[in-house]
Amino acid sequence: MVWDGWNVEGPVVAPGLMSALTVVDAVAAVDGAAVRLVDSVAIRLDEVTKVFGSGDSRLLAVDRLSMEVNRGELVCLLGASGCGKSTVLNLVAGLETPTRGTVSVPAGNTTLMFQEAALFPWLTVEQNVGMPMRLRGRRRSERSGEVRELLELVRLDRFAKHRPHELSGGMRQRVALARALAQHSEVLLMDEPFGAVDAITRDLLHEDLVRVRHETDVTILFVTHSVREATRLGDRIVVLSSRPGRVLEEFTIPGDGSPAGHELAAAPLVPRITEVLRHEIGRHGRG
Amino acid sequence: MAEAAANVSEGLDRLELPVAVRKPRLNSIATLVLPKVAALAVLIGVWQLVFVLRIKPDYAIPSPGTVWASFVDQWQHGFILPAVWSSVHRAAFGYGLCLLIGTPFGLLVARVRLLRLAVGSTISALQSLPSVAWVPLGLIVFGPNETTIFFVIVMGAFPSIVNGMVHAVDQIPPILLRAGRSMGARGVRLWWYVVLPAAMPGYVSGLRQAWSFSWRSLMAAELITTSADLGSGLGQLLSIGGTNVDMAQVVTAILLILAVGLAVDTLVFNPLDRAVRQRRGLLADA
């Protein structure tokens, strides 16, 4: 009887709530769909070809490459040397123009991060992070609060007054990450940013990047030649061929949003991705 | 979990930071000063020995004691301080002119490719031209006055400032310029916020070299340019000593020229150079 009572009581209250929720949900869904239709894509490359030089010394770096990166997504471009990964980043950053095809970044501005931290050695950590704001003409009083928040985000608030040469390689890359975020770009283009640090540091930097990404909703296009790094970080992995760069295969990692879930979902893909990559490298060996 | 990761991250940061081992201060002062004092003592000892052995007559090689007595005598007659002041004053003014002319000119040569192609090698050549060569030219154009002296200083020292600036700009790591541009720094802003601070160590080296060239040029100019209304500097003190065959005065003047040149380098340029390098982590013992 008691159970019946509960059973009866449940649906009595529920229908009203349910219908209310459904309406709100539907509106949200329609809204979401509308928003998604307009600008869910952050980066779009359409049949992009890039040729360097001319005549005999002509180099086809990227060949009819088409891909999209959605807002908030972290896509890894994976490939061996000569796959034009850096060229793709430069094209997206607007530092190069495509020979054919179109590159568009509907999301807005882009920021490049390099393998080297490229910090200014004459400035302290906080001055380095505040540099993009300073260049935009924001006064010290206006930028100090945000600089502190960014340093907390990369766990370097205790090192605000240090200079780059007093930090380790991994710490410098975190400063560079904070400085990149200080540019308020919607898209972060990372060119093997953790290529020059040791394995333990790289592991921690991966954790930092995953955390920062979830806290900031930034869209990331991440270039790497490491299958491990790509599967660890990417929501999606685009494997590129070498000389010229074309899309060989795409892998989507169906994670549940948690780092552990991501790792679990990525693990079975590792052998296949490695095989694709090795096959591509081997193709060049056979002449 | 997140806290554990934070701990690992912080632990690694701490482990990777260099541990500063501070040397006892007294010890480091002693190691800095003692070799210099010892070298000076040996030098005076050898000098005294040469004097005692009478290799040359007294007027050619006076004893350290005679030179000291000459110095004290000239000091008491009030010759030394005005001469030092007059020379330092001229050097400072001439050097200031060099800075005002050399710095913007150096920036222009570093930045404008055509100008660099046109005058770059000429400026390098000028640097190897002994500044005493400018004295007759200055005397004919300006006459025996301070303008000639300043002209010689500027011609002798500004190539160092220009070259220092040009090479400093050339040696900026391209990645810093790329980083600056990717943050949106262009044109004047790129120069102000990236190029100039990045070029500072090389520029300061140029400034330091320019000082020693200024001081040498001044001495060359003072030694040759004499006139009643010009007043006496250290170069003139040296010149008078030579004319009177007064070796004690000649040696006194030479030692004073050395001492002032060294003092300015030690008190002004060495700390400036160290500060700029220390800031950037460019000191070997930092």
- Residues B247-275 have pLDDT tens digits of 888 888 898 999 998 899 889 999 999 99
Residue closest to A188 by CA, chosen among A105, A108, A111: A111
> Are A106 and A44 spatial neighbours (Cβ–Cβ below 8 Å)?
yes
Q: Helix, strand or coil for residue B95?
A: helix
Closest CB to A155: pick one of B6, B175, B282: B6
Report the pLDDT averaged over residues A14-20: 39
How far apart (Å, rounded) are the C-alpha atoms in residues A213 and B47?
A: 74
In percent, the amount of chain A with pLDDT more than 70 equals 85
Under 8 Å between Cβ of A250 and A239: yes
pLDDT tens per residue, range A184-239: 889 999 999 888 888 888 888 898 898 888 888 899 999 998 999 999 999 999 99
Q: For residue A93, list chain B residues with Cβ-Cβ distance below 8 A.
A: 182
pLDDT of residue A214: 86
In the prediction, which pLDDT does A35 show? Answer: 44
Helices (H), A40-168: 85-93, 125-135, 140-153
Q: Which of A104-113, B155-164, B227-236, B276-285 has the highest mean pLDDT?
A: B155-164
Whole-angstrom distance, CA of residue B165 vs CA of residue B104: 9
Instruction: Determine how many CB atoms are found less than 10 A away from the CB of residue B262.
Output: 13
Structure tokens at A121: 């050695």
pLDDT tier at A16 (50, 70, 90 boundaries)? Answer: very low
Write down the ipTM of this complex. 0.77
Q: Which residues of A touch B286 (CB under 8 A)?
A: 165
Instruction: Give the separation between CA A122 and CA B195, rounded to whole angstroms.
Output: 12
Report, as an integer, the average pLDDT of B24-35: 73
Q: What is the mean pLDDT of residues A128-156?
A: 90
Residue B27: band (very low, low, confident or very high) from pLDDT cuts 50, 70, 90: low
B64-76 and B80-111 helices, crossing angle to 10°: 90
At residue B24, the pLDDT reads 62
Helices marked H in chain A: 2-39, 85-93, 125-135, 140-153, 169-181, 199-216, 227-233, 259-266, 270-285
Domains of chain A from N-terminus onward: 2-39 (no CATH), 41-109+185-286 (3.40.50.300), 123-182 (no CATH)
Residue A4 has pLDDT above 60, yes or no: no
Q: What is the mean pLDDT of residues A60-65?
A: 90
Q: State which residue of chain B sits closest to A113, comparing Cα positions.
A: B179
Phi, psi of B231 (to 5 degrees): 75, 165
Judge contact between B201 and B282, C-beta under 8 A: yes
The Cα-based distances of B62 to B48, B58, B65, B131 in angstroms read 9, 5, 8, 31
Average of per-residue pLDDT across A265-271: 90
Res B249: pLDDT: 87
Long-range contacts of range B254-258, CB-CB < 8 Å, 24 or more positions apart? B255/B67, B255/B71, B256/B80, B256/B83, B256/B84, B257/B215, B257/B219
With beta carbons under 8 A apart, name residues in chain B contacting A194. none
Q: What is the pLDDT of residue B22?
A: 66
B64: phi then psi, degrees, rounded to nearest 5: -55, -35
Question: pLDDT class for A284, splitting at 50, 70, 90?
Answer: confident
B103 pLDDT tier (thresholds 50, 70, 90) = very high
- Cβ-proximal residues to A271 (8 Å cutoff; 6+ apart), any chain: none
With cut-offs at 50, 70 and 90, classify the pLDDT of residue A241. Answer: confident
Provide CB contacts within 8 A for B39, sequence distance 6+.
Answer: none
Q: Which of A95, A112, A204 sits opposite B9 (nearest CB)?
A: A204
| CA B204, chain centre distance (Å) | 10
Whether chain A has a CB inside 8 Å of the CB on B5: the answer is yes
Would the pLDDT of A23 be above 80? no
Q: What is the mean pLDDT of chain B?
A: 87
Whether residue A30 is predicted with pLDDT greater than 50 in this model: the reply is no
Q: In this model, does residue A22 exceed pLDDT 50?
A: no
Residue B241 has pLDDT above 90, yes or no: no
* pLDDT digits 0-9 by tens, A147-158: 999 999 888 999
The reported pLDDT for the residue numbered A140 is 86
Across the interface, do B183 and A131 touch by the CB < 8 Å criterion? yes
Q: What is the pLDDT of residue B34?
A: 85
A244: preceding bond cis by omega (within 30 degrees): yes
